[in-house]
Structure 1
Amino acid sequence: MAVRLPSISSVSRLPSCFSKIKNLAATGRWQEVLSCHRELREAGVQLTDPSVFPPILKACSAISFDYGKSIHASLLKQGLDSFTSLGNSIIDFYVKSGTLGCANDVFDCMRNRDSVSWNIIIHGHLDQCAFEQGLGLFFQAKITGFKPNISTLVLVICACRERQLFDDGQILHGYIIRSGFLAISSVQNSLLCMYADIRMEFARKLFNEMHHRDVISWSVIIGWYVQNSEARVALELFRQMVSEFHIEVDGPITVTILKACTNLQNIEMGNLVHGFAISRGLKCDLFVGNSLVDFYSKCDDVESAFKAFSEMSQKNVVSWNSLLSGYVQSEKHSEALLLFDSMRRAGVEADEVTLVNLLQVCKYLMLPYQCKLIHSKVLRQGYESNELVKNSLIDTYAKCNCISLAWKQFSQMKHRDAVTWSTMIAAFTYWDMPGEAIALFREMKLIEENLNTVTMLNLIEACSLFADLNISKSAHGIAIRHGLAFEVAVGTAVLDMYSKCGAIQASRKAFEYMPQKNIVSWGAMIAAYGMNGLPRDALALHAKMESQGLKPNLVTSLSLLSACSHGGLVDEGLSVFENVIQEYGVEIGVEHYSCLVDLLARSGKFDSAMDFINKIPCTVKPSASAWSAILSGCRNSGNREVGAGALAHILELEPSSSVGYLLASNMYASGGLWSDAANMRLLGKRSGAKVLAGYSLVHVNNRAYRFVAGDKHDPLSDELCIFIEQLHSWMKIENTDHDNILGTKRKEVKSCSSSFRLQQQLEQFVDAGT
């Protein structure tokens, strides 16, 4: 077989070809490098100079893995792989091609390894997140006395940080000191990042020992304090950095400081940072611009947020979302919709954050149709797996009076987290479906879903509505077992739950066992006393609260006034009202004025109530409840002229409520004007006013039963309902022959004269019915 020999002209051109390959590689023209190599191979030229192959292998790692493997094979045949420099290039080729296994094979077969060999293989593993293997190779290489390059050393530090390897990190720190690398800024900053993520006290110590701190060093320390809710310390460090050490500020640290200002809601400091960013020419930085919009939005200064947004030279979807979130948070929903329209016209595609914000708008404005449109967009864009989007959909459907759609969305979810369960439980509670909420919580506990504070609060609220003492006690027990009962918010909700079940002693006990109390806790206990007809206890607790240095706020003072109103404590109520204004400096709201009018009217001081309502400042408009109290007083005083005026105010403020019509009807009926009373009720029906039915709550055998006016579907048995109707009819008989009547009924109901026997009778009926 004839062997093709290279021509003399080809051999003479070899030096120039080698030079051309190297020059092409230096400028990154990899395709031309491989083309040149192919020409030489096709010409039958056998390359024996090891120095020509590294650029060719680099070209292969950039363009063709298979071509690189063929070159490796030819090098093995020629025995050129024994050159250490060429072996290093082969390892580098496999590392950059993402095949660590092949790189390891070549590395293991190398007879002579130098520091470059170790650096390439260690760097390759760490760069591809094979942290354990990379760290193992590094500590193995240390024994051979190799010298790592800076990039490898930084990656090794990052690997210790990623794996939270404090002991290995300290060993590495010692090695860096002994090897003389500690003076290098990038190595120091990498160590600083490692310690900040693992042991902050070591990071602070290293920071204090550093002779040269650049902006990255300061950013690491300041960033840690911001992330760990110590924004004030972060701001003080930033002040030192700028004023004492005169470090030039860059974009990343500006973003961090704006985050600190956001956490503190410090609008003044944020304005200074904004001006600082402008003076340093950082306002064109996209991340700085987005942070400014986010800062102003979260500080409820949407005008400044819009101004910062308008001045941005470039924007992305984060910019639009930050401003949109600001409008939603500030309840400027019309502006939010206009902004979204501008965003759409600007060609910016909505993402999941945009859709969640729009869902918040739909929830507030109760727009079920628009919610369905957003839901369809969620499905089209593939966001249905996003937890935040799914939970927002459930919440929005529920608030838009589409509880069935909320339940359908919940039922179709394959994976539910604690937020999902909490959202659905809250939805049932919101629509006065406490039984369903409690049942759903039980299902949640069966699958052992993690219980958090929000879920616990939703369960307690459902129990408050259900008003079953046993179930409420069970909820309290769950909170104790999960270590949540000692949280202020949960403890406050528990005492409120017991008060709504009528168990005021349990409320008092829950309040006393709270390790920490805030103004909300004290206010809830005061409200509990007022709700359960104990106004004197409410006033005493208020005095105790003051003795501990706490001043009443708007809610606490309103609870006190309400307790005095329902307890008929006129003088005490007036005293509370005056003290709230004069001593505590609380800004009185319309509710306080209305409550005081109600107090005076309930106590029969109709003229005083009228005088007071006429003296209310023009900036405060009396609520419908205040005029309702006046109208109710007119029924007792017979002043129909004033009553007609009060009715007009009620209908203006609450046109869909039945309260005004019913009170006016009662007023006319008390004066014997039966036709006017009937006409008023007829007007209420024609206007479509919503009638809220009253109900009575009866506890039997520690179970709560609700009797709603006009509801034929009572939770008790039909037999007990008949018995209660009979009892009611006996009570109506207004003659002296009660004993004879009761005597004829003794065969049906034994000894119903005592409340104790009546309770027993009720319990027997309940047991039979359940």
Structure 2
Amino acid sequence: MAGSQTWSRAQEEHIVGLVRRCVDTRQLKQIHSHLIVSAQSQNNFLIAKLVRTFAALGSLKHARSLTDNVNHPNAFLWTAIIRAYSQQQSPCCTEALVLYAQMHRQYCLIKIHDDDDDTKKISSPNSPLAFTLSSVLKACASLLASNQGLQIHTHVLKYGFNSETCVQTALLNVYAMCGRMAEARRIFDRIPFSDRDVQAWNTMIAGYANYGGDMRLAFCLFQQMRERNLFTWVEMINGYANSGQMDSARRLLDEEGVLLLLRRDRRNKNAIIIYTALIMGYANCGDISAARIVFDEIPESERDVASWNAIITAYSRTGLFDEVIHLFRLMTERGGQVQPNSTTMAIVVSTCAQLGSSRLTQWVIDYLESRCWELANGRHIVTALIDMYAKCGDLNKAYEVFQRCEDKDVVCYSSMIAGFAIHGRGVEALEVFSQLKKEGLEPDGICFISVLIACSHAGLVMEGYHHFESMRNDYSIPPTADHYMCMVDLLGRAGLIDEAYKIITKVMPPVQPHAGIWGSLLSACRLHSNVELGEEAGRHLLDLEPENSGNYVLLSNMYSKARRWNDVAKVRALMRARGMRKPPGCSWIEVDSRTHKFLTGDVWDCRLEKMIQVLGWDLMSQVYPDSIDHEYVNI
């Protein structure tokens, strides 16, 4: 390799021009190889350019590798890699803080040892830049790390950046997102009125609207603004949505004539963004009808994939899954005017999982195949597909999708574990959990819930205990009420009612049991005819959820199984006195690509009696003869 030499500015600018024209990481790697051969692998200026471009192309791993291989990174290179991490999700933002701490130690607390081993501290000329501090503050905001933000604030004052607009705005964002609006307002008020840019105003409005919960103050700032942009309007809509005042949001838009002005300018694409914010705002307030009215106001030619996704998500969250499928059909039948993206497909696949329809599942798979599976590359799509196949009863297909995924994360593993769990295949679920640990991934609390459910449904009591203790001791994950609910269910299904009760009364405190825990205990008491503990569980359950008719039915069924008819009558009388009615049971069966739905009491279908006979004999041939109570046989 050639000896180390300093390149001229012209040589460096030539490389910078090549970097700007790169469209993929392969080209960037070729340029990096050229720099290594040319003895420029330690050129901070060029490496910083490569780091920024690698990060922009989504290859944070290569960006970090380049930075780590520079022996003496300067402030510009540190800033490039810190900014790259700060623009990602939470784990990467944590790394941005770690990198800033390393930079601060290296440049601001350099120790010089003399012959007498005395130590002196000097300030480095390569101290953090304004963009270094604004980037690390952005990471603090994403992590809601107010304490770290306070520390960086002291560095802002130390390095004299307290008048830099980008740094001040970043500080505003940290305090606002952490709910510390008093500190944010003090910083904002210290900025001269003429120096407040639209981003600073928007940050304060967003803080009051979304984190401070004070739309009055947000509106006051909104009225004082000399200039507003799209973000201003979106934050006002989001704030009104969070406070349940969507009528005020729509009134504000109508009074200002915003939508009318935007619709007149056909070249302006901001109208569709505001419409989408309105749809999401109404949906978050539970007003699906108003959300649909807004969506229908958008001319068909102007609807984009974000607006379609907003209304589809709205229906999905309210459980109107048939309407989700209907909208997806409309979207795909528009002659390719708007193509679904991976977010659309994730919602639709999850809907198919909820409906459990093999016909819809195959239809969605056919659509994905028609797009050459380009929409199924993301891990969230893979996770949704696993969940869909599992809930539709095709575990082989679910596992096939799981194995085909090359970049599995904890969520993907948890989804596969849950799929095996709901079908009682606990051994396979634990095998997948073992694979997760072998891959060096660290399970989270949600993953352990799936593992405990798998143990519960498969009757693996000792294994369940083992993984529960491992969660606490090996991974330092504090058990939540949901983890304890799984343990109560595990013990209850196994007939260990007293041990399940001890979990609630002795082990759980100070964690408070929720309705799901008492419901699991009551279900176990009904199954194993432990009326005494069942009554106590029922009392707690009715106190926590007095409006849930299912709790009364579960308690009544326990008395019915024990043939305590007077108590059955008392529970049903209590339901009537409180105006409670049990919603009718519902079943559906798919025949010849059509879904037939039956409610309890339906007798109009000529095939219903034959279906009941077939299902009855099928249940009797399985392991459920004792669970078919005379009460249900006589329906």
Task: Provide TM-score, normalisation by structure 2.
Answer: 0.71
Task: Using the TM superposition, give the Cα deviation of residue 535 of structure 1 relative to its aligned residue in structure 2, in angstroms.
Answer: 2.0
Alpha-carbon contact 1:523-1:559 (below 8 Å) kept: yes
Offset of residue 422 of structure 1? 1.0
The more displaced of 286-295 and 507-516 is 286-295
Higher deviation after alignment, 452-461 or 229-238: 229-238
Point out the more displaced range, 443-452 or 487-496.
443-452
Question: Quick one: distance in 2 between partners of 1:503 and 1:348?
Answer: 59
1:630 equivalenced with 2:521 (yes/no) = yes
* Residue 357 (structure 1) aligned with residue 244 (structure 2): no
Aligned to 2:252: 377
1:485 aligns with 2:350: no
Contact 2:240 2:249 in 1 (8 A): no
Deviation at 1:420, TM superposition (A): 0.9
CA distance in 1, matches of 2:279, 2:572: 39
Structure 2 Cα separation of the partners of residues 631 and 230 of structure 1: 48
Q: What's the CA shift string for 1:711-739, capped at 9, x where partnerless?
A: 78xxxxx6xx2222255379889xxxxxx
Shift of 1:392: 1.8
SS of structure 2 residue aligned to 1:484: helix
Amino acid at match of 1:411: D
C-alpha contact (below 8 Å) 2:531/2:558 kept by paired residues: yes
CA offsets 1:400-426 (integer angstroms, 9 cap, x no match): 332222112111112111111111111
Query: Structure 1 pair 666/268, CA: closer, same or farther in 2 (3 Å)?
Result: closer
Other structure's SS at 1:559 match: helix
The answer (yes or no) to whether the contact 2:484–2:508 under 8 Å persists in 1 is no
CA shift digits 1:32-61 (9 cap, x unpaired): xxxxxxxxxxxxxxxxxxxxxxxxxxxxxx
Determine if contact 1:508/1:525 at 8 Å carries over to the other structure. Answer: yes
Pair 1:284–1:535, CA change in 2 (3 A): same
CA distance in 1, matches of 2:133, 2:15: 19
Which amino acid in the other structure matches residue 353 of structure 1?
Answer: F
Task: Count residues in correspondence.
Answer: 535
Relative to structure 1, the CA distance from residue 263 to residue 561 in structure 2 (aligned partners, 3 Å threshold; closer, same or farther) is closer
* Deviation for aligned residue 1:524: 0.4
**More displaced stretch, 279-288 vs 257-266:** 257-266
Aligned to 1:395: 280
CA contact (8 A) 2:586 2:600 kept: yes
1:340 is aligned to 2:218: yes
Q: Of the candidates 290, 308, 319, which is equivalent to residue 432 of structure 1?
A: 319
Q: In the alignment, what sits opposite 1:418?
A: 305
Q: Which residue of the partner structure matches residue 612 of structure 2? A: 728
Residue 364 (structure 2) pairs with residue 475 (structure 1): yes
Q: Is the 8 A contact 1:284 1:313 kept in 2?
A: no
SS at match of 2:307: helix
Matches for 1:265-664 after TM superposition, within 5 Å:
270-297=149-176, 305=184, 308-309=187-188, 312=191, 314=193, 315=196, 318-326=199-207, 332=211, 335-337=213-215, 339-340=217-218, 343=221, 352-361=230-239, 363-364=241-242, 367=244, 370-384=245-259, 385=262, 386=270, 387-414=272-299, 415-445=302-332, 446-448=334-336, 449-480=338-369, 481-635=372-526, 640-664=531-555
Higher relative contact order (CA 8 A, sep 6+): 2
Larger Rg: 1 or 2? 1
Query: Could you say if the C-alpha distance between residues 356 and 498 of structure 1 is closer, same or farther in structure 2, counting changes exceeding 3 Å?
Result: same
Contact 1:499 1:507 in 2 (8 A): yes
Partner of 2:541, secondary structure, is: helix
Q: How far apart, CA to CA, are the structure 1 residues paired with 2:459 and 2:42?
A: 66
Q: Secondary structure at the match of 1:450?
A: coil
Q: Is the CA contact 2:206–2:218 (under 8 Å) kept in the aligned structure 1?
A: no
SS in 2 for 1:404: helix
Structure 1 contact 624–650 (Cα < 8 Å) conserved = yes
- Secondary structure of 2:316 counterpart: helix
Give SS of 1:722's match.
Answer: coil
- The answer as to whether partners of 2:382 and 2:402 remain within 8 angstroms in 1 is yes
- The one-letter code sitting in structure 2 at the alignment partner of 1:321 is N
Deviation at 1:247, TM superposition (A): 5.7
CA distance in structure 2 between the partners assigned to 1:697 and 1:537 by the alignment: 29
> What amino acid sits opposite 2:206 in the alignment?
S
The 5-angstrom pairing of residues 707-746 of structure 1 reads: 707-709=598-600, 721-728=605-612
Closer/same/farther in 2, CA of residues 350 and 683 from structure 1, 3 Å limit:
farther
Deviates more, 1:613-622 or 1:490-499: 613-622
Contact residue 321 and residue 351 of structure 2 kept, 8 A: yes
CA distance in 2, matches of 1:297, 1:207: 40
Partner SS state of residue 502, structure 1: coil
Q: 1:557 to 1:222 in 2, by over 3 A?
A: closer
Cα pair 1:320 1:343 within 8 Å, conserved:
yes
The range that moved more, 486-495 or 247-256, is 247-256
What SS does structure 2 have at the residue aligned with 1:432? Answer: coil
Distance 1:304 1:469 in 2: 55
Q: CA deviation at 1:693?
A: 4.7
Go from structure 1 to structure 2 and tell me whether the alpha carbon gap of 1:342 and 1:701 turns closer, same or farther (over 3 Å shift).
same
How many angstroms apart in 1 are the aligned matches of 2:408 and 2:165?
A: 44
Q: 2:206–2:236: 8 Å Cα contact kept in structure 1?
A: no
Residue type at the aligned position of 2:168: G
Q: Compute the displacement of 1:645 (Å).
A: 3.1
Tell me, in whole angstroms, the C-alpha distance in 2 between the residues paired with 1:619 and 1:690.
35
Question: What does residue 574 of structure 2 align with?
Answer: 683
The Cα RMSD (Å) is 4.4
Asked whether the equivalents of residues 363 and 396 of structure 1 are also in contact (C-alpha less than 8 Å), the reply is yes
The aligned amino acid for 1:452 is N
- Assess, with a 3 A threshold, how the Cα gap between structure 1 residues 268 and 624 changes in structure 2: closer, same or farther: closer
Deviation at 1:313, TM superposition (A): 5.3
**Gaps (5+ residues) in structure 2?**
1-6, 23-27, 49-73, 88-95, 109-121, 263-269, 622-635
Is this contact kept in 1: 2:169–2:203, CA < 8 A?
yes
Against the structure 1 CA distance between its residues 358 and 679, is the aligned structure 2 distance closer, same or farther, given a 3 Å change threshold?
farther
For the residue of structure 2 that corresponds to 1:707, the secondary structure is strand
Q: Percent identity?
A: 27
Structure 1 pair 665–269 and aligned structure 2 pair: CA distance change class (3 A): closer
Separation (CA, whole Å) in 2 of partners of 1:483 and 1:546: 30
Other structure's SS at 2:567 match: helix
One-letter code of the match for 1:652?
A: D
Q: Which moved more, 1:549-558 or 1:190-199?
A: 190-199
CA distance in 1, matches of 2:598, 2:364: 24
Q: For the Cα contact (< 8 Å) 1:294–1:322, is it kept in 2?
A: yes
Q: Which amino acid aligns with 1:461?
A: S
* Distance in structure 1 (CA, Å) of the matches to 2:258 and 2:14: 39
- Between 387-396 and 518-527, report the one with greater CA deviation: 387-396
CA change 1:545–1:258 in 2 (3 A) is closer
Alpha-carbon displacement from aligned partner over 1:318-348 (angstroms, at most 9, x marks no partner): 335324535666xx56x34464266368788
From the superposition, tell whether residues 494 and 311 of structure 1 become closer, same or farther in structure 2 (CA, over 3 Å): same
Alignment of structure 1 residues 208-287 onto 2, 5 Å: 208=43, 246=125, 254-255=133-134, 258-259=137-138, 270-287=149-166
Contact 1:476 1:494 in 2 (8 A): no
Instruction: Output the amino acid matched with 1:565.
Output: S
Query: What letter is aligned with 1:288?
Result: V
